[in-house]
Amino acid sequence: MTRVELVERRSGSVRFLCWPYEGIGMVHVLEPLVFQRSPWLVEEIASRAGGGDLRILKQVHGAQILGTGEVKEPFERTGDGLFGEGAGSLGVLTADCLPLLLFDHERMVLLHVGWRGMMGGIVERGCELFPEGSQVRAMLGPCIRGCCYQVDPSFVEEVGRRYPHIHGKGVVRCVGEHLYFDIPSAVAGILLRAGVLEVMDCGLCTFCGGDFPSYRREGERAGRMLTVAWRER
């Protein structure tokens, strides 16, 4: 994986972490409570971040990916991934899960990847939306990581059965009697096996990084981080 340092900027009182990648805009909005007030405010924030005509789903920790043409209003459809070509922006909300962007020179796929979605194959489904031979790249946003994501042995065994090729490659670490799972490392292994050309990772943890909402840390009180991605013109 390639480590990328994100750049912070502001629009009014709202803080963004921005990916410094030419041609693709992707930002993470560090104002979690804004999305509990109004779905239309989500569109406003997306516009201020740089994207427009936002598509965003009602997420259910599954593996369904919808095309932007199937989504007319914010949160009207259920799913955990969006696929688009051309103009417009894609959005996902997370509070420990991984916001994952896949893109080539024409297409973009933005995924909400938790352990359920990963085990359900959402990462592979995202990769399959690109034609064979595409030069696909990936951006891995802030999420809970192997430093903080404690799991039980049965989960590790289940992942090992589903993805034996990624097992033992920095995905699981043992500290005393506790096991910790690194979702970005697991997802990177899936992406590289699927032929993704480059995997870029911000390296930020939502649990121990105080700027982020975290369901594991805050429970039902946790807000949500909005990730918006678009193709720059």
Q: What mean pLDDT is reported for the chain?
A: 90
What pLDDT, on a 0 to 100 scale, did the predictor assign at position 42? Answer: 66
The arithmetic mean of pLDDT across residues 196-201, rounded, is 98
pTM of the model: 0.93
3-state secondary structure of 210: coil
Query: Two tokens at 2?
Result: 């390639």
End-to-end CA distance of the chain: 27
Asked whether residue 59 carries a pLDDT value surpassing 60, the answer given is: yes
Mean pLDDT over residues 101-117, rounded? 97
Mean of pLDDT values over 205-212: 91
Q: What is the mean pLDDT of residues 157-172?
A: 86
Domains located in the chain, CATH noted: 2-143+195-231 (3.60.140.10)
How is residue 24 written in tokens?
């693709």
Which amino acid type is present at position 74? Answer: P
- The pLDDT assigned to 39 comes to 57
Q: What is the DSSP letter of 143?
A: B
The pLDDT score that the predictor gives to residue 41 is 60
Q: How confident is the model at residue 119 (pLDDT cuts 50, 70, 90)?
A: very high
Q: Which has more pLDDT, 112 or 232? A: 112
